[in-house]
């Protein structure tokens, strides 16, 4: 499996010939648009920063779109969406947490989750998470301290932070609170490591890990 980060809350997850896109920004967003073809697009919040379904279409590839709570089984991928609050966009206060199982790998994507806790249903049902993707930038989503607390609560093998300010090509200054990545790593007592271009792994590679933090460079 290959996971790449495209800034904001946009991730590309590839497994063989299958490609998933999480929260791609639309052309109306202030975030840089990374256009790539996806088989499945998951949108957690109906906001231009996260709902760019059109930017995840390329050539003849038209993705299946998941944009809310519910249960889905698409192209062998099992998806469960959990209703949750967000303060990122006051006009759209509903976020969806996604639990996604791709060939035995369980990815949990929190999206633009706000407040200071997880919804009850998600707390009861989310377990045995392999990769947790969590917002850490505050300003309508979890701040760095809350993000780390919830990451510990969910007990994933790997944690990938998102939604923090960066001068990289995939983001703009001011998206999230200043120094949130640095503060998140400090909160987790993790060493500041050089971000990697992509996270490439097989399930066996992450067995036995407990909350290892992987920082991805904006693509």
The encoded tokens of residue 15 equal: 């497994």
**pLDDT tens digits for range 28-56:** 998 988 888 999 999 999 999 999 999 99
Whether residue 218 is contained in a domain is answered as no
d(CA 159, CA 38): 23
- Domain around 121: 2-213
Query: Using CA atoms, how far apart are residues 218 and 89, in angstroms rounded to an integer?
Result: 23
CATH (domain of 191): 3.60.15.10
The mean of the pLDDT values for the chain is 92
193: its two tokens: 């490591």
Q: Which helix (H) or strand (E) holds 20?
A: strand 18-22
**Would 51 be classed as within a structural domain?**
yes
Answer whether residue 132 is part of any domain: yes
Give residue 42's pLDDT. Answer: 98
Q: Is residue 188 part of a domain?
A: yes
Please write the tens of the pLDDT for every residue from 154-200: 999 999 999 998 755 444 545 788 899 999 999 999 876 789 999 99
**pLDDT score at 76:** 96
Q: Is 44 helix (H, G, I), strand (E, B) or coil?
A: coil
pLDDT at 140: 92
Tell me what pLDDT residue 170 has: 44
Would you say residue 119 lies in a domain? yes
Rounded-to-integer distance, Cα 53 and Cα 59, Å: 14
pLDDT at 167: 53
Task: Give the whole-angstrom CA distance, residue 194 versus residue 33.
Answer: 24
Q: Is 55 helix (H, G, I), strand (E, B) or coil?
A: helix
The reported pLDDT for the residue numbered 34 is 86
Mean predicted confidence (pLDDT) in 131-150: 95
Q: Do residues 11 and 3 touch, judged by C-beta distance below 8 A?
A: yes
pTM score, two decimals?
Answer: 0.94
Report yes or no on 164 lying in a domain. yes
Instruction: State the helix-helix crossing angle for 144-154 and 180-187, rounded to 10 degrees.
Output: 40
Give the residue, 177 or 205, on which the prediction is more confident.
Answer: 205
Number of domains in the chain: 1
Q: pLDDT above 70 covers what percent of the chain?
A: 95
Has residue 76 been placed in a domain? yes
Residue 219 lies in a domain: no
């Amino acid at each position: 499996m290959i996971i790449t980060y495209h800034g904001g809350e946009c991730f590309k997850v590839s497994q063989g010939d299958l490609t998933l896109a999480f929260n791609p920004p639309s052309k109306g967003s202030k975030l840089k648009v990374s256009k790539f073809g996806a088989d499945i697009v998951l949108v957690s919040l109906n906001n231009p920063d996260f709902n760019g379904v059109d930017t995840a279409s390329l050539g003849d590839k038209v993705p299946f779109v998941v944009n809310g709570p519910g249960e889905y089984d698409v192209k062998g991928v099992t998806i469960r969406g959990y209703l949750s609050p967000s303060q990122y966009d006051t006009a759209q206060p509903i976020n969806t947490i996604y639990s996604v199982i791709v060939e035995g790998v369980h990815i949990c994507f929190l999206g633009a989750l706000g407040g200071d806790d997880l919804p009850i249903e998600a707390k009861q049902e989310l377990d045995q998470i392999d990769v947790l993707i969590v917002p850490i930038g505050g300003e309508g989503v979890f701040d760095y301290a809350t993000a780390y607390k919830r990451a510990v609560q969910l007990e994933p093998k790997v944690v990938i932070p998102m939604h923090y300010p960066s001068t990289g090509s995939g983001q703009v200054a001011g998206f999230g609170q200043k120094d949130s990545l640095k503060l998140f790593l400090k909160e987790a007592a993790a060493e500041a490591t050089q971000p990697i271009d992509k996270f490439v792994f097989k399930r066996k590679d992450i067995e036995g890990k407990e909350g290892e933090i992987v920082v991805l460079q904006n693509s």
